[in-house]
Amino acid sequence: MNVALNVSCYLDLRAESCYEQSLFTKRRIFMTRNVARILILLRKWRRGLSGFDVFKVWFFAVVIGVAAAYGVIGFRFVINQVSGIAFGESETMVVSGAASLRVWRAWAAPVIGGFAVSGLLYLAHRYGWLAKGRAEGVADVIEARAVAGGRVSTRAGLASAAVAAVSIGAGASAGREGPAAHLGATIASLLDRHMGFDAKQRRTLLGCGAAAAVSASFNAPVAGVLFALEVVLGNYALSVFGPIAAASVAAAVVARIHLGDFPAFNPPDYGAAAAIDVPLAALLGVVCGLMASLFLLSTEQMTVRLREFAQERGFSYLLLPPIGGVLVGLIGAFYPEVFGVGYEAVANALNGEYTVVMLIVLVAAKLAATAITLSCRFGGGVFAPGLVMGAFAGAAFGAGLGAVLPEATASPVYYAMIGMGAAGGAIMGAPISTTLIVFEMTGEYGITISLMVAAAIATLIVQWLCGQSFFHWQLSRRGYDLSEGPQGVILQTIRVRDVMDAMPAGAPLSEEAPRLDAGASLGAALAALTETSESGLPVVDESQDRAAIIGYLTRIKALASYNKALIDQHVEHHT
């Protein structure tokens, strides 16, 4: 009886246990399914959110394009007002205005402008707007993209625009497109500052601002896109092309509403080009490459020499703009074609108003005036001077060919337009965008093959003789070498403090013990680790205490950080 009862109880308990296990299993399955459903919903929500991020970037790209266009319009308005005071004419007619003045009056305009620029630089430096004591430009936009996470200082941008507007309006030999691109990037950085964009999105919007400014300044939306991709961002990823194109188009629409829809130049008919004009254009590319190299080397040497001279004599950099104004004024008083942006002089060259000898003299005068302008801390860009020098050189080249081979070559107008693209592209290191800028500025697409050949050869010669473009030379003076590509930028911009393992202060290091400085670059740290054959080294902050250990960096951690940054850079450049 007891045995039967025990068996019955055992069976009942087992059945109950099985039932409970079954309920537990069902609950588990139910919970698993619910968790899976929640995860799927979260994934869909995340995808939808990422789609919203893309929409937000596109929306802000258009907003930035409109804002940058109005910024460029305002910038040109200020230049015209200053030019009207200095020469009695707007920026586009400054050559005629200066030629109608007395010699001393034309000479005085850039001198007074130099004092005004010095005053602006002093105020900007005193209040911390321009900590480096100079106006910023395209090179600073590239630096912001590579180093500063896509950030451009609003105060520095506004101060730089003011310095550039006064400089160009007063007759300094410089272009407005570089300062305009910096102003566009400043506007982009201001508008996206509190919108929660990540570093990649900020860099994209930085390119949107630069593209919009170039588009509005030249009435060249296609060239604006390629300028941002080729010069500022340094990549052609699909994820950045769309927003930049949207910003460039929006800026072009606004600029055409207010400034009109017409090319910057209306060249006369240059006749039919023959097959021989292509190799002759290649020869012109050699000439423009040598001229661009001479310009870059002259500007570099003059900048270095003036800086050394000022340091040795104890002169303030504030004396440089007035001195530069005196020299530029002396040149411009006799050759007013060097004043300002110089587009009126380009139009005159295209219309054949200068002799061959005069064109050669103007090339030398413009080169000297621009080198003085840029080395004496006036504000302005290099693209417009490159166009002007190229137009002069091309027109002289074409006129010389016409005297030797009158039946076999195109007119000097043809070669003047080719010279514009070849010289400008070689100086900036951007032959693709420069080629399109010349197309859109002249409306002439019949020079396509010859222009591409000349621009490529001129750029090759500059790389061979100078090793880098104007913008990369400016960056190299600040300690950044971007010529080695993304891997070089990573090694230069990531600091030891960014990747080290922080640790509390311990026993002080002896003077002879190897160590790493927290402010050193990742490339310097890897070189030190390789040289010492150590698996890791202690980190100190040499600016405070050379003996106090604040962290430790191993070779494995340094290489892992480098590899991760390389992968992130590769994904950004190819998606």
Please write down the HEC assignment for all residues of 41-107: HHHHHHHHHHHHHHHHHHHHHHHHHHHHHHHHHHHHHHHHHHHHHHHCCCHHHHHHHHHCCCHHHHH
* Contacts within 8 Å (CB) and 24+ apart, 40-49: none
Q: What is the CATH number of the domain that holds 552?
A: 3.90.1280.20
Each residue's pLDDT, cut to its tens digit, for the chain (575 residues) gives 444 444 444 444 444 555 455 554 555 555 565 655 665 655 554 444 444 567 888 999 999 999 999 999 999 999 999 999 999 988 888 999 999 999 999 999 999 999 999 999 999 988 889 877 888 888 888 888 877 666 888 999 999 999 999 999 999 999 988 899 999 999 999 988 877 788 788 888 999 999 999 999 888 888 889 888 888 887 777 788 899 999 999 999 999 999 887 777 777 777 667 778 889 999 999 999 999 999 999 998 898 888 888 778 778 888 999 999 999 999 999 999 999 998 899 999 998 899 999 999 999 999 999 999 999 989 998 989 999 999 999 999 999 888 887 766 778 889 999 999 999 999 988 888 888 888 787 777 778 888 999 999 999 999 999 888 888 788 777 767 666 666 666 777 777 778 888 776 666 777 677 878 877 777 777 888 888 877 888 888 776 777 777 888 888 887 887 787 777 766 666 56
Looking at 477, 496, 527, the residue that finishes a domain is 477
560 and 418, same domain (yes or no) = no
For 538, phi then psi, to 5°, come to -70, 155
Q: What is the CATH number of the domain that holds 168?
A: 1.10.3080.10
330 and 391, same domain (yes or no) = yes
472 and 490, same domain (yes or no) = no
Looking at 458, 477, 496, the residue that finishes a domain is 477
147 and 109, same domain (yes or no) = yes
Judging by DSSP bridges, how do beta strands 501-502 and 536-541 pair with one another?
unpaired
539 and 469, same domain (yes or no) = no
To the nearest 5 percent, what fractions of the chain are helix, strand and coil? 75, 5, 20
Closest CA to 380 of 81, 106, 131, 160: 160
Q: Is residue 271 included in any domain, yes or no? A: no
pTM given for the model: 0.81
Domain of residue 553: give its range: 485-574
Q: Is residue 214 included in any domain, yes or no? A: yes
Q: Is residue 397 included in any domain, yes or no? A: yes
236 and 131, same domain (yes or no) = yes
Q: Is residue 255 included in any domain, yes or no? A: yes
